[in-house]
Amino acid sequence: MVSQEEAEGFRTKAATAAADFAADRALVENAETQLSYCTLKAPVSGRLGALAVDRGNVVKANEATLVTINRVTPIRASFTIPEQRLAEVKQRLTRGEIPVTIEVAGAAGFTETGSVSFFDNSVDAATGTIRLKGVFANEKKRLWPGQFVTVSLTLDVKNDAVVIPAQAIQTGQKDPFVFVVNAEKMAEGRAVTPGPTMGEMVAIERGLQVGEEVVIDGHMRVIPGGKVEVKTGNTPGPDGKAQATPPAASSHPLPGTKQ
């Protein structure tokens, strides 16, 4: 049993204590917030580079770079293709992911396979190219950010294609052509439709058959309907066979090569 005055005093003390508790809790939360400013959490996981600042340096928000983080697994490669191949790439995209292969040259060279992950929405008017990106798992961490590599896109696979050395193809007024050596060892010009290129070899879509021979050297001395004297030199050609030495023209038999 207490008086009304004492009851009011107890209520006042309780309210004061609650207010003090709330104020102290606000101070704790503020201290935790201030402490959080002393710890920086990276938005992505990756490998740290060299520290740009040391302990004790004065930095400002959005003006100083503390460290650069590069994601290594997975890793992306940026490359461009000519706009002339844009239609082929878009058509291939309709069939699913495009395989892309990275090759690193050198004594310790290797290849890594991935897929196209980005296709830019416009062509660079200054260079006439369009940018693509490939993503690679890079589980062994052999690829490194900033590294220069050779990128290959696999748009199609042609089995039993007829291929010839690129130097056999000549530029005509209408269409590309090659000099074919017939059974009488006479040269005849024939229009061809070149296909994909791989290294120094070109696949021929139309115009040649397996077993025919084409001139790969000495084109300036070749006359349509004229005799062709096949000579072999000491320098092997791109197919491993010897090339001809001037003034004669050299010919190259077309194998049924898979490309």
At residue 38, the pLDDT reads 82
Domain range spanning residue 232? 162-253
Domain assignment present for residue 227? The answer is yes
pLDDT digits (tens, 9 = 90+) for 117-145: 998 999 999 999 999 999 999 999 999 99
Q: Which of 17-26, 85-94, 220-229, 232-241 has the highest mean pLDDT?
A: 17-26
Q: Are 233 and 248 a contacting pair, CB within 8 Å?
A: no
Distance between CA atoms of residues 185 and 187, nearest Å: 7
Domain assignment present for residue 82? The answer is yes
Domain assignment present for residue 17? The answer is no
Domain assignment present for residue 45? The answer is no
At residue 32, the pLDDT reads 93
Task: Say yes or no: 144 and 199 in one domain.
Answer: no
Task: Say yes or no: 202 and 137 in one domain.
Answer: no
Q: Give the pLDDT mean for 212-224.
A: 84
For residue 19, CA distances in Å to 37, 64, 72, 238, 259 come to: 27, 42, 52, 89, 82
Total count of domains within the chain: 2
Task: Say yes or no: 170 and 202 in one domain.
Answer: yes
Q: Are 102 and 137 a contacting pair, CB within 8 Å?
A: no
Token pair in block for residue 206: 């139309």
Q: Give the pLDDT mean for 14-30.
A: 95
Which among 153, 172, 199 is the end of a domain? 153
Beta bridge partners of 76: 135
More confident residue, 37 or 150: 150
Which among 136, 153, 170 is the end of a domain? 153
Domain assignment present for residue 55? The answer is no
Closest to 163 in 3D by CA, of 110, 218, 239, 74: 239
Domain assignment present for residue 146? The answer is yes
Domain assignment present for residue 106? The answer is yes
Distance between CA atoms of residues 44 and 168, nearest Å: 52
Domain assignment present for residue 124? The answer is yes
Task: Say yes or no: 249 and 166 in one domain.
Answer: yes
Task: Say yes or no: 149 and 167 in one domain.
Answer: no
Which among 90, 123, 153 is the end of a domain? 153
Q: Are 172 and 127 a contacting pair, CB within 8 Å?
A: no
Token pair in block for residue 221: 């001395």
In this prediction, residue 217 has a pLDDT band, given cuts at 50, 70 and 90, of confident
Task: Say yes or no: 169 and 247 in one domain.
Answer: yes
Task: Say yes or no: 123 and 186 in one domain.
Answer: no
